Structure formats: C-alpha cells, structure tokens
Amino acid sequence: MERLAALLLLVVTAANNFSHEVENFRLRQAIQKKSIQWLDSYRLADLHPLRRTKRTWVITTIVVQEEEKGPFPKYAGQLFNNKSFNESVRYLISGPGVDEYPEIGLFSIEDDANGHVYVHRAIDREKTPSFQIRFDIVHRKTAELLDRPLFFKIKIKDVNDNAPEFSKEEFNITIRENHRKDEPVFQVTALDKDEEGTDNSRVSYSLTMQMPILDGFTFNIDPTTGLILLSGCLHYETASSFKLLVEASDHGAPQQSSTSTVNVAIEDANNHLPVFINDHYQLQISAGQEHPAALRLQVEDKDSPNTPAWRAKYKITKGNEKEQFAIETDPETNDGILSIIKPVSYEENSQKRLVISVENEEPFFSCKNGEVMISSPESMNITVNIKVLQPQHAPQFHPPILIVHKEDPMKPGTVFRKYLATYPDDVPRKIKYELAHDPAGWVSVDENSGVLTVAKEFDQNSPYVNNSLYTIIIHAIDDGIPPQTGTGTILLYLSDINDHMPALVTPSLDVCDQKERTPLIIKAKSALVQNVNEPFTFELAEDSEDVKHNWKLGRNFGDSVELLMLRSLPQGSYLVPFIIRDGQGFSTRQNQHVRLCVCPDGHTCEDSPLSQASVRLGGSAIAVMLTALLILPVSSILLYRFHKSRSKGKATLLPQEGEQTLITYNEESREPVCHDGLYTRYNETSQIRHLHHILQTVDKILDQKLYDQSNLEDDGHSYEPCRYAEEGELERSSSFHSLSIASEELPWNFLQTLGPKFSALDEICQKRFPSFN
C-alpha cells in the first residue's frame, strides 16, 4: 500500500508540474502578445504632447554581492505594482540570469503574488558585473498583461577578492655603469581585476628588498607609476648585479598584494683611464730598414677586459711628421705595437723622440655628488727615444750557392775548397767561419781562413745523400754589435754532372701562322727523378739582334715558360736559344726550333719540303740539291729533250724555287747570303754512261749556268731579291726520293713513259727554256 501511495503521489505531482508548465507557456505567449500591444501604445503615446503620468511600478533596491555565501535561495529584493490593488495578479521575471545566458537560473520570483526576488547561488562579478532583468504583471486567471513591462539592471556589488598581478614573476634587465639617476631604470606594472575606479583595483608599488645593500646607494620606485630609479652612481667594481623584490598592493579591504623579482645586471663603463707601465722607452733601429713590431708599449686598465671601456687607442702626437712610424693595438693584450713603416735615414737624424698618448674607445665618466659626469680628461703621454744605428750588412759568400762536383776520391786531410765571405760595403771586420750543416761530418772548416778540409771520405751511399746531392751550409759571423751572420751553401754532387742538366721536353715546335699571337709554352724537364730540381728559371740567350727583336719571355710556371712573338714574322724556321737553370744551380743552353707555317685546317702545318729546305740552305743550294744530287739523270734527259725541240739561245737561269724572305734562323733582316744554285759531281753520271753525247750537252749547259750564277753572286749585294711571277700555286707532290730510277741501262724511249710525276717539272722547264742548243 505504501508503494502504491508513493507512486500515486508521484503521478499527481508530475501532472501538476506539467499543468503548471503548460500554464506558464500559455502565459508567456499571452504576455508576448500583450507586450507587443503595450509597445505599440508606447509609440502612439510618443506622438502626443508630454503629460504627467502616475507611476504604477515600485521596486525596492535589489542588492546582490559577489561571492556571497548562502543559504540559498537568498532574498534579494521586492517589486510592487499599483494594479495589484484591484486585481488578482502574478509577477513574472525573465531575461539574462533567469532564462537566458549567462547564468541561467540565477534569479527567480518565488512568491509571484508579492514579487519577492531571490538569488540562488554565488556569482563572480569579474565574470558578469550586471544583469538586465524584465519584470511583468499579469492577471492571475486570464494571464492578461495589466501594465507595461519593467526593465531593471541588477549590478553585482564588488568585493576585494583579487590581488594585483604582474605580467611576469621575474624580470632580467641590464644597465650601464654610467646610468644617470634621473633616467628610469625599469618600469613594473601590475593589474587588478576588481572593479575599476575603486580602492579594490587601485595599486601601489614598493621595494621590499634590495641585494646587496650598499651604503649611500639604493634603488627607488615610484609608488604610483612603478618606475625604478637610482639614488646615486653605480660602481661596477663594488657590485656588478642587484636583486630587487617589488610588491604591488591594492587599497581594498582586506588588502591584496603580490610580488615580482627584478634582476639588474651592471655593464662596466669607462671610469678608469689606461696607465702606461713605463713612463719612457728606449729603442735602437737600423737605418734604411723597416721594422714591424719594433716595440711594445704596455698599459694597465682596471675596467673589464675586452670591453670598449678597457680597449686602448694609441696615438703618436709628436715626432711622426714624416709618417715613418705607426702604432696599433694588440686586441688580445691591449699592448701598443710600434712599427717603423718607412726606412729612417742615418744621415738625416741619428736620434728621434716620439710622444705617444693613450685613451679608451669609450668616453670616460666620473661620479660627483651622486651625479654621473661625462668628461674628456687629459690623456696620459709617454716618450720613446729612438737611436738610429748605422746600417750593418751581414757577410756575403761568393757565390751564395757553390756547386761542386767530386772529380777524384779525396782522402781525409785534403783541402776541399776555400769558401770565403766578404762585406758589400768594404768595411773591414773580423769574420769567423762555422759549419752550420754537415750531417755526415765529411768536412771541417778553419774559423779564420774559411778553408774546408776533408774529414771523412765521401760516401755516395750515405743516408744524407739525396739524389746524388749532399748539402753543406757554412756561416760567416762578424764581430759587430749585434753580430751579423751570412750563410753560404755548398752543393756537392757525387755523380756525373751532365746527368743533372735540365733539357727541353719538345725541342721543335710547329706554329700556325695566325693573326692572333698566342704565347708558346716552352717546357723543360729535369734529369733527376721526380723533378727535384724544379722550379726552373729561363733566359733568352740574346746572341743576335734578331732574338732580342723577335722574341721575349712571359710568365714562368716553374717547369715551363711563355715564349712571346714581338712582331709578325714570315713563314719559316727559327732558332730560339735558351739558358735553362734548375733549382740546384745547374744550367744549360738549349735551342728551341720554331717553324712558322700555313695550317689549312687551322691546326696542322702543311708539309712543304721545298720551302723548308730553302729556308735552311738558301735558294741556290736548293737548286743544286734538287737538280744535281737527287734528279740529275732525269733532269739531264729532259734538258736534252728540250735542246732538240727548241731553237738555240743563251741559257737563262733556272727558277730558284722556294726563294723567300726568311734567312737561316737568326739571320732574318740581314743582307742575303747567296749560295751556288747548282752543284754536281761527274762521278754521279755513271748510272747513264750510255748517254755520253747527252752528258756533253748537259756539261755545256751547266758551265754556262755556273758562269752566269757566279756573275750574279758578285753583284748579290746590290740587287734586291726578285719574286718570279710564274711560279704558280704550290702543289703537293711526292718527294723526289720516292722516284724509282733503275740502275741498269734505260731504253731510248723512256722519256715518253715517265708518267704524271714529272708533269710539274716538265711545265716549268718548258716555260724557262724558250730556246736551247
């Protein structure tokens, strides 16, 4: 029965709630409709003139304080309308905090007949500071709006429940040691979330701690703005950092506060001047010489190293009118490095006096009565007295490198060499000789005479012999102050000296005749293994004016050198003499043959045996070789043929094929040297003894030619070389050495079967011999 009764009670309660919700929904619909009518009436009322109306709504103060403690629901206030005197009414509440966000269900009217307003929980004012609530009055039975709605703003009363908050719990700042006290060091700011313009949000600042604490010096803070200031001058050497504890407090009740830490680092500034360790310096220098880093000037500065306040700047204020001296700062030690950058003449002045000052890169500051004073105090000066000494020269060996080849075995005690050193200025001084390098102990030296004596037999298999080379170094020391030392080197070769001579890699070069003159690369090689004697030095052996006028050397690449053509040269062969010297002192004369030729393809020289021969031997000698030594039988037969076919006349000179403007090697541009154009020997005619009658005719012709040639040679200096107009283009032909002429007797008609090889010679002979007897 109890369960059934409880179930029945639950059903009745749910039914009543449902009916109540339905009634409220209908009531809201009716209120909304009525509200529209009331709003329209308001608009119409605005069209009429102003008139006094009787207030129908009365509301007591509704007070809600944030973070208020219960019990809830808690009475907040009451409202009243005059309509309730004559009607049975109900009061309704709606809006944010009731049935709208934020804070739904915060407010309600529990006694709808009396208009009592209740709050149901605590509220945070910083989250929602106020609520705009709507109140309505309706007929209890018909739900008809009886009056216009009342809109009321409920403000949440603030309590001091928030402490001021800094943006950071800890701040790190850096300031200079020369920071002025009227300039703010830093500013801290704290914000309070309580209601603005009230004591709850008004913040004040204070310094609660300073570490370290110094006598006569503190940090101060403005309580209103939070600006941190200095009370006096900082001193880096006393305290290089500070730790401050700043407190921010509001003025509410109870008072709320918070703290933040400010770490202040001090950067050293220039409050100490650099001081020279010595007040004067003495320096001796040799005249006529440059002396880098001749003297170091040391200073002491108590500021932090490697800072602008510590780095020194040196300046020569007097004595450097000719700018012979320079001074710079060593960045690591802060020393001043004095150098002689221009030689000082001894005759000019043997004594010099320099005045040098020093200061820091950063301006100097001082503290006076707690105030920072930037000033430029007088810099510290020192003097450097310089004594210019007469120039001294070390003894010099002649030659500096002595090359010695072991001719015969030398026994201990034998005088090896006398290697002396002298002074270039002929100043008489005593010289003492010492062995500086003789690892095998093969020689000894007399310290007074410089005579070298064999101490041990020379052994080519010694580990100190490198590529048959043994090195001995001698020192010559004079008695000057300070003593000067000269060095001489002896290179002892234990093998044939000819084995070490450098040589040209390519003694002959073919060069294409082009408009652009490109350097020729002349390369040399060492006779030793791995070219230990490199680098080479190259010189032109200027034996004639032609070498000097035609060629010169360019850049040296160690194992090669550039050969430059100074002017356009005719085609032909040239000899360029070189003197090549290796790193060990060996030198040799080498001849470089250069052939300047035509290259049809731009790369390869065109073969021209005739042209090459003419350059080497001259025009007359070529004619002799071609006609007498190589093809004498053939040419004799051809001459006989033309003798029969043409009329008699005086013999003319054979064409000098290949006559050019080039003379033998270095003989270009001189007067031509004439040679016999034709030369033969009678014993070479044994091959054609059956043609005696032809040889007689040839003998007459040759005699006539030799006679004419002799007359031409007598007048050779007065006639300019002539160029034959009917030579025609040079054709490529097989060498005459390739002609096959049998040694046995020839048939009488062999001239008709010579073939095309003799067509060019046939044509020339026909043109040059119009008549022949």
Q: What is the pLDDT of residues 365-403, one digit of tens each?
A: 999 888 999 888 888 899 999 988 877 778 889 888 988
- In this prediction, residue 705 has a pLDDT band, given cuts at 50, 70 and 90, of low
Distance of CA 639 to the CA centre of its chain: 80
* Structure tokens that stand for 388 in this block: 């210019």
pLDDT at 55: 58
* Choice between 214 and 87, residue whose per-residue pLDDT is larger: 214
Q: What angle do CA 250, 256, 257 make, to 5 degrees?
A: 80
* Structure tokens that stand for 350 in this block: 């043997």
* Structure tokens that stand for 248 in this block: 């921010």
CA distances to 49, 284, 293, 313 from 353, in Å:
110, 12, 17, 20
pLDDT at 671: 40
Lowest mean pLDDT among 170-184, 197-211, 488-502: 488-502
Alpha-carbon span 316 to 381, nearest angstrom: 9
pLDDT tens-digit readout, 601-648: 877 887 654 444 334 444 444 444 555 555 555 555 555 554 544 444
pLDDT tens-digit readout, 342-369: 988 876 667 889 999 999 999 999 998 8
DSSP conformation class of 217: B
Alpha-carbon span 203 to 249, nearest angstrom: 5
Most confident region among 306-315, 524-533, 629-638 by mean pLDDT = 306-315
pLDDT at 636: 54
pLDDT tens-digit readout, 248-280: 999 988 999 999 999 999 999 999 999 999 989
pLDDT at 675: 36
67's CB contacts (< 8 A; 6+ apart) are 122, 123, 124, 125, 159, 161
Q: Mean pLDDT across the chain, nearest whole number?
A: 76
Alpha-carbon span 736 to 746, nearest angstrom: 19
Alpha-carbon span 188 to 597, nearest angstrom: 93
pLDDT at 604: 82
* Structure tokens that stand for 700 in this block: 């007459």
Q: Is the peptide bond before 424 cis (omega within 30 degrees of 0)?
A: no
CA distances to 212, 396, 426, 447, 584 from 393, in Å:
67, 9, 10, 20, 26
Q: Do domains 275-389 and 397-484 have the same CATH topology?
A: yes
Alpha-carbon span 599 to 306, nearest angstrom: 71
pLDDT at 376: 82
Q: Is the pLDDT of residue 678 over 90?
A: no
pLDDT at 436: 93
Within 53-148, strands assigned E span: 57-59, 64-65, 74-81, 89-94, 107-111, 116-119, 130-139
pLDDT at 271: 92
pLDDT at 281: 94
Domain ranges of the chain: 21-157, 165-267, 275-389, 397-484, 499-597, 618-768
Query: Among residues 218, 240, 238, 245, which one has the least CA distance to residue 229?
Result: 218
- In this prediction, residue 283 has a pLDDT band, given cuts at 50, 70 and 90, of very high
747's CB contacts (< 8 A; 6+ apart) are none
Q: What angle do CA 366, 372, 375 make, to 5 degrees?
A: 50
Within 140-256, strands assigned E span: 150-157, 165-166, 170-176, 186-187, 190-191, 203-211, 219-221, 227-230, 241-250
pLDDT tens-digit readout, 431-490: 999 999 999 999 999 999 999 999 998 888 889 988 888 999 999 998 876 788 999 999
User: What is 21-157's CATH number, 2.60.120.200, 3.60.10.10, 2.60.40.420, 2.60.40.60?
Assistant: 2.60.40.60
* Structure tokens that stand for 329 in this block: 């700062």
pLDDT tens-digit readout, 138-195: 888 888 888 888 898 888 888 888 999 999 999 999 999 999 999 999 999 999 998 8
Query: Among residues 381, 300, 296, which one has the least CA distance to residue 336?
Result: 296
Query: Among residues 356, 166, 354, which one has the least CA distance to residue 259?
Result: 166
pLDDT at 614: 38
pLDDT at 323: 92
**How many H helices and E strands in the chain?**
7, 45
Within 406-507, strands assigned E span: 415-418, 421-422, 431-437, 443-445, 451-454, 469-478, 485-493, 503-504
User: What is 275-389's CATH number, 3.50.50.100, 2.60.40.150, 3.30.365.10, 2.60.40.60?
Assistant: 2.60.40.60
Give the end-to-end CA distance of the chain in Å, rounded to a whole number: 178
pLDDT tens-digit readout, 210-242: 999 998 899 999 999 999 999 999 999 999 999
Look-up of token digits 């040079």: 730
Alpha-carbon span 748 to 770, nearest angstrom: 24
pLDDT at 405: 77
Q: Are 170 and 263 in contact (CB under 8 A)?
A: yes
* Choice between 535 and 235, residue whose per-residue pLDDT is larger: 235
Beta-carbon neighbour count of residue 751 at 10 Å? 15
* Residue 472, helix vs strand vs coil: strand
Q: Are 678 and 654 in contact (CB under 8 A)?
A: yes
pLDDT at 13: 44
Q: For residue 285, list its beta bridge partners.
A: 388
Q: Is the pLDDT of residue 290 over 80?
A: yes
pLDDT at 390: 75
CA distances to 1, 2, 6, 8, 214 from 11, in Å:
15, 14, 9, 5, 84
Alpha-carbon span 645 to 668, nearest angstrom: 42
Look-up of token digits 């000097």: 548
Alpha-carbon span 507 to 523, nearest angstrom: 9
Query: Among residues 506, 494, 501, 560, which one has the least CA distance to residue 527?
Result: 501
Lowest mean pLDDT among 234-243, 584-593, 742-751: 742-751
High-pLDDT (> 70) share of the chain, %: 67
Alpha-carbon span 457 to 535, nearest angstrom: 31
CATH T-level fold of 499-597: Immunoglobulin-like (2.60.40)
165-267 CATH: 2.60.40.60
Alpha-carbon span 256 to 250, nearest angstrom: 6
Based on its alpha-carbon atoms, the radius of gyration of the chain, rounded to whole angstroms, reads 62
Alpha-carbon span 639 to 772, nearest angstrom: 9
Alpha-carbon span 258 to 205, nearest angstrom: 10
Alpha-carbon span 184 to 166, nearest angstrom: 19
Alpha-carbon span 576 to 562, nearest angstrom: 13
Q: Is the pLDDT of residue 31 over 90?
A: no
Most confident region among 257-266, 652-661, 734-743 by mean pLDDT = 257-266
pLDDT at 172: 96
Q: What angle do CA 511, 512, 516 make, to 5 degrees?
A: 105
* Residue 375, helix vs strand vs coil: strand
614's CB contacts (< 8 A; 6+ apart) are 622, 657, 658, 659, 660
Homologous superfamily, domain 397-484:
Cadherins (2.60.40.60)
pTM (two decimals): 0.46
